[in-house]
Structures are given as C-alpha cells and as structure tokens.
A and B are shown apart, each in its own frame.
Chain A
C-alpha cells in the first residue's frame, strides 16, 4: 500500500463511505461488555442463518454504543423495513428475529430498543431525542473498530489533515483554546494550556502520552472508546504530537483491558501502513510514531508522574512537582499527558473548528462528557451528555430511574475513589466541573454510581478508602499511614464500636492527608469519607456506641 498524502484522503473517504453505507447490513456490538453478554454466539448464529438463507447482507462487528443494559445488541438495516436496533438477544432468538424482520418485513417488537437516532449518533454533535449529544461516542457501535476504512468514511483523519494543512502547530492550540476543552480525566485543566507549555519548551526530544489507565473501579468510558473507536484516539494522539512538537507518543493502557490493547495496536499498525504515522506523515515534514505500554495493576499509575515512572519501566512512584512534566517528564524530557476521552474529542474539534465545539456545554465547561452510569438504575450503560445537563435528566430521563422493584434513589457517587456523593435533593444541579466541586464531589473521569436507600454510606466510604489504602504506593507518610488509620477508625465505626471522638479523628486525619500527601491519590483519598460525612453523618452516628447521645446533643 503506498503512503497517503494530504490529497489522497478525500477520494479515499468517498470510496470508504460507499462500503460503510451499503444498502443492507447488520451490526453486532462486540466490545468486552457485548461479548460478556454473549454477542459472539449471536454473531455466529446470524452468519450461519444468513448463509443458509443465501442472503447477501453484510454482518459487521462494532464497538459498544453504550446501552450495556440491553447487550447483546444487533442493528438491522435492510430495504423495506425501517432501520432497527434490537437488544437482549440470544443465539436461539436469531431465527425468529430474522423471520420477522427479513421475511415478513416487520419490526420484531419484543426485542426492539432505542436506535442510533435516539442516541444521536448519526451526526457528530447532533442533539437527540434521548437528550444525549454524541461527539466522543459518535462512532462507537457504528464503525468496525478493526477497519481504518470505516473510520475514514466517518470523516476520520480529516482533523489531522486540517491541522497539518491549515492550522499549523500554533493554530491547533488556538483552535483548542476556542473550543474550551478541559481535561476529561477529572482534573479539568484547560487542554490548550498543557499543550502550549510543552510546545514552548526547547528540546530535541518531547513525548506525548495517552493515559488509558482507567483505574476508577466503576468506570469504563475509556475502555469503550479504545475498543469501539480506536482510530479517534490515535488521530487525537497524532494531532497532539504535532502541536507540541513530540517525536514519539505512548499509549499507556491497563493490562486488564486486553481487547482495548489489541484494537489500539491494530489501529497503530493500520495508520502506519497508510503513512498516517512514521516518517513524513501525509507527505509533510512531520514525523512521529506511537507505541503501546501496558499498565500492570496499580491505581497510582493514573497519576501523571507515577504513570511516567511506569512507562520508563520502573515502579509507579509519583515524584514531587515542580519540575512539572511539561518541563521534565518522561526520561527528563518535556512531556504531555492527556486522558483517552480528552484526546477522542480532538479530531472533531480540528475538523469542525473550536467554535463549533464551544456551542455545547456551559460557560466554563464546554463540550460533552461521557459517563458510565451503573448501580441501582434501570438502564445502566454509557451515556454522553452536553455539560450542564442536570443529574435528574441523567438518572431519570436517560437512565430510566431506579431499577424495577428497588428503592428510591438516595444519592449518586461521582469521581470514584477521589470523588464524593451527591444526595438526591441536589439532582437539579447542572453538571459541570465547578458545580460538582461545590457539592464536595468532582467530575472525575466519568464513573457515576446510583445508590438507593439500602446502600450504606459508611460501607461505601469504607470500600473506597480500602481501595486507596491497598493502592497507596507507600512513598509518602501522610497517604501510607493516614489512610490506614482512617480505615481502622471506619472499621471500628461500622462494627458499632466507634465513638464521636472517632468521627473527629477521621476529619482531622482527612485534612492532614489532603494537605500533605505527595500526589493526587493521597490528596483525594479522604474525599469519599468527608463527603459522606457531610451529607450522611446521621448514618455514621447511628452506628456509634454513644450515637443516641450524640444525636440528642445536636
């Protein structure tokens, strides 16, 4: 295959669109979640049935469109019947499904679920009936993630083309500034500033790193994007590398996500073959390459300095800042780290311009955010909403409220082990980095766990704190010792042996950890405890030995 130049991309897109938009096709969601629910069996049965019926209908494996509650999902588009999405399928239902849909040319209502129009996936950034707006997840569930042509058909690598041809490195950062994009890993730091800091540094070597070490135990946005639309993240990495002047980029991905690793490695190979990576990208004088490095099960490696230690092949210990990674990062060279979702936004921003992106969201928080909504909710799954959407809309309108036969929703937890709880009385809050912070939680990477009356807040706090204690790297004392002491106190309280003095001690140690820990892990580890104490102290005092007294005194 000859290497592409800037001029080759458009004709290639037209060809690829013909293949993707064929008249008759069936798509099967085959991400980790789909496969876990039995998608492979459904896919094989579909293939066999179609072969038996001698029908020329293409069956395509796609990523996850987010409706995890209805996996395995199959979407059918054949002439004569409206395009329909089916869910909760099993191999044994396939025969009936095809009889109804293909033979009788009717929709098989018993398996019908919301389709792509409802999710707003047909056009990137188009508002949908379900109140979702999809920019990051726009291709997930539509393209075959193992085929670069599908991505090119969906305007793939057009953002890179525009960056190289039109913007130049400074212009790319200017567009980012206009877009208002902020870090989607949770911190919310303006992305254009991070890029600009590294761009300004003078160094023979600079590095770009993608943080795919999704450690929050209850979140899987990054996995779904890496699996469902790997080329979007690769394109984001190339544009970022170009803007900051990097020589090399690394994907740092959890080893627990083997399918994501496989898909990204495949995407890199395909991009390299077409000349989208390597020497003289698209015929320009920009040269850059990408490699994958695996995590090995350490939550602290989500912290950027610890992550870089790990990419260097060492223990994932964080280091004190300054110097900041922008000055001295990987192997002492200027480096920039962005989260998967941040990078997945970049191609669309470059393609459509920064102003286009800034139309979504609130004054301070632009664009959309992907959330993995789980826990006690009817439609658990991945959603993408414009910033500023209320929690009520997320929990009740999009995700259908509490699961059937269960209790009232009590609170949601966001931000995982670094975040906090938000009680139901604040559900009219418009989601943004600032609003969640004001409520004592954080945006985080996008885990959103819905809890009901049965879930004990003390147990939740214990779960997250126990996680951080196990994951503490042990380098600094506040985190190593403080975390353990807090966990002992929590255990005592949950056994009914605690006193009011223990609650005061919890708060004291929390503040010390927040102030004195070396990295984000220790600084944020007390958050789940503090936030459950803030809103649900009654659940703590109810468990105290002198609880009745304490409650009476108040």
Chain B
C-alpha cells in the first residue's frame, strides 16, 4: 500500500478544498475524475488516507453512481443519448452503428484505447434529437450515415 501511496499523483489541493466541508466526498471524487478522466485506485487509497475515511466508503459511493469510472477512458469518448426523445428518434440504431464500426459493445473501449462508446441518460437537448456527445461536444440530429464521418473526424484531430 505504501508503494501505491508514494507513486500516486498529488491531490492535496482537492483535499484541502473539501476536507472541512460536510458531506463533500462526492465533490472531491468529481474533481479527481475531472483531473484523471477516471478515479484510479491509487488515488482512492490516498484520498482515504488524507480525508480519513475508510476505502470501503469511497468505493461504496464510486460503485453506486453511474457517473464515476474506475477504468481509464478511451482517448475519444462517444456518448449516445438514450433519453426518451432520442430513443424514439432512433438512438438505439446509432449505438448499433457505432458498435459495429468500432467493433466494441456499448460500455467498452476499443483495444487500441482510441474510442470509448457508451449510451448515456438524457443530456437535455431533446429538441435536437437524436444527439451524440463526442468528446464533450453535443452533435444534433445525428443520422446513422454520419457515424463513419464522426469517427474519422476524431482520428484526424489525433493526427494534428
């Protein structure tokens, strides 16, 4: 455990900000996920130590909420909205198309670590359904025919 502690990145600022506030564990975990893209076990260990909470308490929270991730995400994240409006306007077909094109199932990362595909709860753009969120940018009224193009544009940015 001590080895993991020493090699872990510095999270003292996050801890300092939230330590004295009541019920702030979820907020601290949000900050950590925003920094690392997921919540690494080494950081959880460190957080448990610094905030003086059992590791089990941290994992209890991490595993309850859909938003927290325990594994590193792919370089590109493709999130297909599965809200009601998107669902009715063909979101399941979009998930299928992305899954086929990338060769992964929903909730998986491609073996080369390039793409993470997930379906997400309503992102609140129902007027523009179906929507896909590509690396944080919301794309509106997406059609199955655009799937290849979206993947290609992510690859291109990679090269630049």
Q: Which residues of A contact B (CB under 8 A)?
A: 32-33, 35-37, 68-69, 71, 214-220, 223-224, 255-257, 291, 293-299, 310-316, 331, 372, 374-376, 380-382, 413, 416, 447, 449, 451, 455, 463-464, 473
Contacts and interface: CB of A to CB of B under 8 A. Distances in A.
Contacts of A216: 122
B11 interface: no
B128 A33 contact: yes
Contacts of A413: 84
B30 A36 contact: no
Given A217-B84, A374-B85, A449-B84, A296 B127 contact: no
Contact of A255 (B25, B30, B89, B129): B30
B30 A315 contact: no
Interface stretch (B64-72, B106-114, B144-152): B64-72
Q: Which 9 A-B pairs have the closest CB atoms?
A: A68-B127, A218-B84, A297-B66, A296-B65, A36-B138, A220-B124, A297-B67, A313-B23, A374-B85
Contact of A296 (B22, B23, B67, B123): B67
Contacts of A447: 84, 126
Contact of A376 (B30, B88, B139): B88
Interface string B25-39: 111011000000000
B60 interface: yes
Interface string B54-90: 0000001100111110000000000000111101110
Nearest to B138: A36
A35 B67 CA distance: 23
A219 B123 contact: no
Interface of B: 21-27, 29-30, 60-61, 64-68, 82-85, 87-89, 120-129, 131, 137-140
A296 B66 contact: yes
Contacts of A219: 122, 124, 126
Contacts, number: 136
Contacts of A381: 127
A313 B125 contact: no
A135 B59 CA distance: 43
Nearest to A216: B122
Contact of A220 (B66, B68, B122, B140): B122
Contact of B83 (A68, A71, A218, A255): A218
Contacts of B82: 217
A449 B127 CA distance: 11
A228 B74 CA distance: 33
Given A68-B126, A312-B23, 10 more contacts: A36-B131, A37-B140, A215-B121, A255-B67, A295-B67, A297-B68, A314-B61, A331-B23, A375-B89, A447-B84
Contacts of A35: 138
B84 A416 contact: yes
A268 to B, nearest CB: 15
A217 B66 contact: no
A331 B120 CA distance: 31
B68 A296 contact: yes
Contact of B25 (A215, A313, A451): A313
A214 B124 CA distance: 9
